[in-house]
Amino acid sequence: ILNVEQSPQSLHVQEGDSTNFTCSFPSSNFYALHWYRWETAKSPEALFVMTLNGDEKKKGRISATLNTKEGYSYLYIKGSQPEDSATYLCASPGSGGSYIPTFGRGTSLIVHP
Amino acid sequence: EPEVTQTPSHQVTQMGQEVILRCVPISNHLYFYWYRQILGQKVEFLVSFYNNEISEKSEIFDDQFSVERPDGSNFTLKIRSTKLEDSAMYFCASSEFVRGTQYFGPGTRLTVT
């Protein structure tokens, strides 16, 4: 079973601030890293699937980078808006014959207007 | 846009009773999953299902749990004899490809009293 950790656990920022948070995972036998955005009372929504070391993906004001050698991924939000308030989850599926994904606890982001 | 649906949104049951949680995955998806999240804890993988059989299951998915795709549309999770510690949010997800992006339903909150 993988150990996927996210930090910080929660984050409060002002509207317009840029912010970032971290997902760390074991670098050995890496297969992929998934980021999800989870708003209260809604389903987790897939943001990015990252597989290659050095990958950088972008969706609007949100971007993510991946370092598989050192076992971390950063999620960046540029110019945070109140609607960005959500819990951001990362998950890493197993490798080899197993797909069982391990989720981090999530980073809860609150953007104050 | 296609989405995963789950019913009911909230189920209250007495300890020892059987419950069936229902999910309708996205229609062209072939891989189906159940997860749970106990309040305050990480999202945990329960089981994956493909081609009418279980692909993988976690240690949590013991003999009291079962899954079924009874009619080519619904995907169900049955808990035979509920325990207090089964109280959690249960999420269904589906994906088009193995290890592909998973699309989550809104969840069923199960409360065992």
Per-residue pLDDT of chain B (113 residues; tens, 9 = 90+): 789 999 999 999 999 999 999 999 999 999 999 999 999 888 899 999 999 999 999 999 999 999 999 887 899 999 999 999 999 999 999 999 887 888 999 999 999 99
Give the gyration radius of chain B's Cα atoms. Answer: 13
Q: Report the distance separating Cα A104 and Cα A34, nearest Å.
A: 11
Yes or no: say if A85 and A111 are a contact pair by the CB < 8 Å rule: yes
Q: Which of A7, A33, A100, A105 to mutate to test the interface with B (most CBs of B within 10 A)?
A: A100
Residue B13 contacts A, CB cutoff 8 Å: no
> Strands, E, within chain B: which ranges?
5-7, 10-13, 19-24, 31-37, 43-50, 53-57, 65-68, 75-79, 88-95, 103-104, 108-112
Q: How many residue pairs bridge chain A and chain B with CB atoms within 8 Å of each other?
A: 47
- Tell me which chain B residue has its CA closest to the CA of residue A103: B43
